Amino acid sequence: MKINVLTYILLCCSVSIYAQIDTEKKLKIVPAEESKEDSATILPLTPSKPADDSFSDLAIPKISKSLEVPEKPFSMFPEEEFGNPGELYQKRISKNIDDLTLSKEEIERRNGSTTDQYLGDFKSNAEFVNVIYRDHGYTDGDIIQVLVNDDIVHARVYLTGGFKGFKLNLLKGFNKIDFLALNQGESGPNTAEFKVIDDQGHIVSHNQWNLATGVKATVIVVKEE
């Protein structure tokens, strides 16, 4: 029994040795060979050719024949027809020439007075007066400021078609009332009608003004002792 085991061990060892020898015989190492061409002669890498970005293959949209092209250019003045742009400026120049042919009074009635208007001074024994005013023309947004003896009593008054105003207690001597035009409304000039009525209901002063922006109309009520 011992002999058989020993024989088996020797047989296994001989097989292992034979396998290793056979493997070494089959393994063949190939040495590296140097390139016969010098590295300097090797051509450099060249970049690939970029893709053709031509649009020749794309379909070009065609303009529809059904579209209508306007025969006339767009105009900021649709209601007026001018043969050339010079006609528009000629019309404006003509308006300025009209101003030259009008009198000063006619120009002021149309454009408003550019100088302060003095509407007179009036004597009264009343204790107080009512100062009222309204837009006597088209109500277009005229705004005034009212001052008494250079003090602001109403900073902004929007003139309407109806009278509005204030009560003024008269001081002895001069009582100066100023109406300052803050704008000229939509159509211009700043137009208004005013009345100064005493405590007995008598009209002390009644007048109108046509003012450009920044111009004032003045009336003075003198209280007698």
Which two three-digit tokens encode residue 96?
């300025």
Query: Whole domain around residue 164: which residue ranges?
Result: 113-223
Assigned domain for 11 exists: no
Instruction: Say if pTM beats, i.e. exceeds, 0.75.
Output: no
Assigned domain for 215 exists: yes
- Residue-level pLDDT at 105: 65
Question: Looking at the 3D structure of the chain, how many domains does it have?
Answer: 1
Average pLDDT over residues 196-218: 95
Assigned domain for 117 exists: yes
Assigned domain for 124 exists: yes
Confidence tier at 213 by pLDDT (50, 70, 90)? very high
Assigned domain for 130 exists: yes
Assigned domain for 73 exists: no
Assigned domain for 157 exists: yes
Confidence tier at 185 by pLDDT (50, 70, 90)? confident
* pLDDT tens, residue by residue, 93-126: 665 665 567 676 666 666 788 999 999 999 999 9
Kindly report the CATH number assigned to the domain that includes residue 158: 2.60.40
Assigned domain for 38 exists: no
Residue 161 Cα distances to 26, 29, 84, 107, 137, angstroms: 124, 119, 43, 24, 8
Confidence tier at 221 by pLDDT (50, 70, 90)? very high
* pLDDT tens, residue by residue, 132-184: 999 987 888 999 999 999 999 999 999 999 999 999 999 999 999 999 999 99
